[in-house]
Structure 1
Amino acid sequence: MTARSALRRYMLVSFLTWLPVGLMGATLVLLMTSRGLSLAEVGLAVTVYSIVTATLELPTGGLADVLGRRVVLAVSAAFTVAALALLAVSTTFWMFLVSGVLKGVARALSSGPATSWYVDTLHGIEGREADLKPGLARGGAMESVALCVGVLAGGGLPLLVPAQVIFPLAAPPLVGAVAAAVLLVVVVFAMPEPAHDRRSLASVLREVPATVGSGVRLAAGVPVLRRLMAAAAASGVILCSIELLTPGRLAELAGTAERGSLAYAVVAALGFAGSAAGSALAPRAARLAGSSARGAIAGTVLAALSVGSLAATAGLSGPAGLVSAGLAYVTLFVGLSVAGLLCLEMTHNAVSAAERTTVTSTGSLSLQAGGVAANLTLGSLAGQSGAAVAWAGAALVALASALLFVRMPAPPTGSSRSPARQARAHSG
């Protein structure tokens, strides 16, 4: 396999992994409420999904490091097919709850293996000094393109499906299940992986806790990884502030919930396009800034200014408010994607293949932890003092997180000391 072939496959898998998420995202809440769920039940179903994902992040990352990337990605795709097929036919709260559990398992399983597969493959072809930024940037861009295409298609599909044939709001998750089935085929047949030693399931499961423990110790023990985990948590705060407060703000500006829903779908699609642009621009940003760490500072500051502009323009109404909110949303995702892509590169450069997926899962868990903290604080803050104050708080968190990249420690290097040994050395 050539580097170009590996990149093409990585981009395709990245696109297919996130296309089902985009397809179901635009109509998920409407589907649940139209089938009789209250908003409280919808919130509980979504919370269960988040809890399952967070709980399984590290174990599934360790499983990918032990079993291999392809196996775990294939299982993730299978869970996605089952989850979205069940979602399309769900009529009760418990069916939606089970669908949420299956989606959470699928999401946790898909967190990291595709990127780890690409990095390991490229290292095998070009060596450890291979430049990861261009490939990771294209993979990140394809994820954003998939979300953009998916949310637009998912939002428009119910208008095109005859109600006599299928319940219109069930069409997007059904199409998402088909896309996940295609992903399953691609992973099985187009992602070759070096053979692993044949081991029993019991022996594999015994290795997972040790792998997880090693990855966590590595993330906590290496200075550069500690900072990257903290930056991921700050990103979780920023993203939560957007997902929590933007829909209500747009509904207020548009005049009705229905128009606000359409406005949010359009703005979200533009945001995903901005995310794709940010991923594509990340290598250039690092080059112009002089290093990946300085490029991450630029992206983080841009994100902070964008959230700040949401706070500053919260008093605007009508078209001016819609345009300013949309521009801030798009610019925010450009900045977050630049910083996120460069953080991903720095993370992969600081670990070995043995802990790669576990450490990236630790980063994903840190991001979700930041989101949980924001959910517990920003929602009540917005309720008491308004969205502008909550956004201002998120902007300050983002601005403070830019300091994490100043004088960024170098990643562990040297053939005599592995990253795991470096972690033990740093931890005393």
Structure 2
Amino acid sequence: MTARSALRRYMLVSFLTWLPPGLMVACMVLLMTERGLGLVEVGLSVTVFSVVTASLELPTGGLADVVGRRAVLACSAVFTVAGLALMSVSTAFWMFLVSGVLKGIARALSSGPATSWYVDTLHGIEGEGADLKPGLARGGAMESVALAVGVLLGGAVPMLVPPEVMTPLAVPPLLGAGAAVVLLVVVMFALPEPAHARRSLGGVLREVPATVVAGIRLAAGGAVLRRLMAAAAASGMLLMTIELLTPGRLAELAGTAERGSAAYAVVAALGYAASATGSVLAPRVARLAGSSARGAMVGAVLCALSVGSLAATAGLDGVPGLVAAGLAYLVMFAGLSVTGLLCLEMQHNAVSAAERTTVTSTSSLSLQAGGVLANSTLGVLAAQTGASAAWWVASGVVLASALLFVAMPRPGVTRSSRVPALPERSCSG
């Protein structure tokens, strides 16, 4: 396998992994409210998803480091199909909760394996000194493109489906389930992985906790990783605040749930397009800023300023409100993408292949923990005082997180950080 071939496969899997969430994001909150759920119940459903994801991040990351990336990604696709199919037919609060559990399992399983597969493959081809930024940037761009395409389709489809045929807002999750089926097929054939030595179930179960513990110790013991985990938590708070409050706000501006779904689709698609642009520009930002850490700090500051502008214009109505939200999304997602891509590079440069997915899952766990915290605090704040107050707090948190990148230690893998109990993955793993 060549580096170009590995990159193409990584980009395809990245796109297909994020297309199903993109298809459902525009209609998720509106579908819940249309079927009788209040804002608190919607928040609880989202919290269940976040808690399940956070609880399984480290075990599933360790599992991917033990049994391989492809098997874990395939399981993720299966759970995505089940979760989105159930979401499309859910009519009661408990059904949405079960759907959230299934989607949370899928999200935890998908956190890290594809990126780890690409990094390990590139290291096997070009050596551990290979420049990760270009490939990771393209993979991140494909994720954003998938979200943009998905959210546009998910927002437009409900406008085209006659209500007498089926609930219009239920169609995008069904399309997402179909996209996940395609992902399952691609993963099974596009990510070749060498056969693992036969091991007993007991042996696997013993290795996964050992890998998890090693990953936690590495993340907690390294100055670089501690800062990156804190930055991920701040990003999680911001994303949860945006995802929870923006759909309802745009539905108010548009007048109906279906129009609100379409408006959110357009605004979110602009944000995801900016995110793709930010991923592509991240290497240049790091070069102009002088280092990846300084580039990440620039992205965090831009993100905080954009959320502050979103809060400041929360009182605008009609077209001005939609335009203000769209512009804020452009800057916010571009800045967030720059920071996220450069943090990902620093993270992968700070660990070895043996614990790569586990540490990636630790980062995702931090992001989910930040989301749970935002949902239980800023969601309540928004219900009592309005969305503007919650957005102001989120802006302050992200601005404070920029300080984490000041005097950032240079990331580097030390031999003592490797996990000796596990074999190194081959270049095609």
TM-score (norm 2): 0.91
DSSP 3-state at the match of 1:412: coil
Query: Which residue does 2:408 correspond to in 1?
Result: 408
- Which amino acid in 2 is paired with 1:187? V
- Cα shift readout 1:135-172 (whole Å, capped 9, x = no counterpart): 11111111111111111112222343456665543332
Report the CA distance shift for 1:185/1:145 in structure 2 as closer, same or farther (over 3 A).
same
Distance 2:15 2:120 in 1: 19
- Cα shift readout 1:310-368 (whole Å, capped 9, x = no counterpart): 23333444433322221011110000000000000100000011111111111111111
Q: What is the CA-CA distance between 1:252 and the residue it aligns to?
A: 4.4
DSSP 3-state at the match of 1:97: helix
After superposition, residues 20-419 of structure 1 pair within 5 angstroms as 20-35=20-35, 37=37, 40-161=40-161, 166-254=166-254, 259-413=259-413, 417-419=416-418
CA contact (8 A) 2:276 2:334 kept: yes
Query: Which residue does 2:426 correspond to in 1?
Result: none
Task: Answer with 73-82 or 225-234: which moved more.
Answer: 73-82
Report the CA distance shift for 1:250/1:211 in structure 2 as closer, same or farther (over 3 A).
same
**Which consecutive unaligned segments of at least 5 residues does structure 2 have?**
421-429
State the aligned residue count.
Answer: 420
CA contact (8 A) 1:350 1:419 kept: no
Distance 2:167 2:390 in 1: 38
Report the CA distance shift for 1:106/1:330 in structure 2 as closer, same or farther (over 3 A).
same
1:16 maps onto 2:22 in alignment: no
- Which amino acid in 2 is paired with 1:178? G
Q: What is the CA-CA distance between 1:226 and the residue it aligns to?
A: 0.5
CA contact (8 A) 2:154 2:265 kept: no
Query: Which residue does 2:6 correspond to in 1?
Result: 6
Task: Answer with 232-241 or 335-344: which moved more.
Answer: 232-241
CA contact (8 A) 1:60 1:109 kept: yes
Distance 1:73 1:10 in 2: 12
Distance 2:264 2:78 in 1: 30
Q: What is the CA-CA distance between 1:384 and the residue it aligns to?
A: 4.7
Task: Answer with 246-255 or 305-314: which moved more.
Answer: 246-255
Distance 2:61 2:334 in 1: 27
Task: Answer with 321-330 or 101-110: which moved more.
Answer: 321-330
- Cα shift readout 1:105-124 (whole Å, capped 9, x = no counterpart): 11110011000000001001
| Shift >6 Å, 4+ stretches | none
Distance 1:368 1:9 in 2: 27
> What is the root-mean-square deviation in Å for CA atoms of aligned residues?
2.2
CA contact (8 A) 2:50 2:371 kept: no
Distance 1:253 1:381 in 2: 21
Distance 1:284 1:219 in 2: 27
DSSP 3-state at the match of 2:357: helix
Distance 1:44 1:96 in 2: 10
Q: What is the CA-CA distance between 1:264 and the residue it aligns to?
A: 1.9
CA contact (8 A) 2:19 2:149 kept: yes
Task: Answer with 169-178 or 384-393: which moved more.
Answer: 384-393
Report the CA distance shift for 1:347/1:384 in structure 2 as closer, same or farther (over 3 A).
same
CA contact (8 A) 2:50 2:369 kept: no
Q: What is the CA-CA distance between 1:378 and the residue it aligns to?
A: 2.1
Task: Answer with 87-96 or 14-23: which moved more.
Answer: 87-96
- Cα shift readout 1:255-287 (whole Å, capped 9, x = no counterpart): 555544432221111111111111111111111
Task: Answer with 309-318 or 142-151: which moved more.
Answer: 309-318
Report the CA distance shift for 1:385/1:167 in structure 2 as closer, same or farther (over 3 A).
closer
DSSP 3-state at the match of 2:354: coil
Q: What is the CA-CA distance between 1:387 and the residue it aligns to?
A: 3.5
Report the CA distance shift for 1:69/1:165 in structure 2 as closer, same or farther (over 3 A).
same
Distance 1:166 1:311 in 2: 36
Distance 1:323 1:265 in 2: 13
- Which amino acid in 2 is paired with 1:54? A
Report the CA distance shift for 1:245/1:86 in structure 2 as closer, same or farther (over 3 A).
closer
Distance 1:118 1:6 in 2: 7
Distance 1:249 1:272 in 2: 19
Report the CA distance shift for 1:239/1:18 in structure 2 as closer, same or farther (over 3 A).
same
**Which consecutive unaligned segments of at least 5 residues does structure 1 have?**
422-428
CA contact (8 A) 1:140 1:276 kept: yes
Report the CA distance shift for 1:77/1:290 in structure 2 as closer, same or farther (over 3 A).
same
- Cα shift readout 1:72-101 (whole Å, capped 9, x = no counterpart): 001111111222233334444443332222
Report the CA distance shift for 1:246/1:154 in structure 2 as closer, same or farther (over 3 A).
closer
Distance 1:213 1:251 in 2: 45
- Which amino acid in 1 is paired with 2:332? L
Distance 1:256 1:162 in 2: 15
CA contact (8 A) 2:47 2:375 kept: no
Q: What is the CA-CA distance between 1:38 and the residue it aligns to?
A: 5.3
Distance 2:86 2:311 in 1: 40
Distance 2:244 2:31 in 1: 19
Task: Answer with 249-258 or 219-228: which moved more.
Answer: 249-258
Distance 2:223 2:38 in 1: 46
TM-score (norm 1): 0.91
DSSP 3-state at the match of 1:409: coil
CA contact (8 A) 1:218 1:420 kept: no
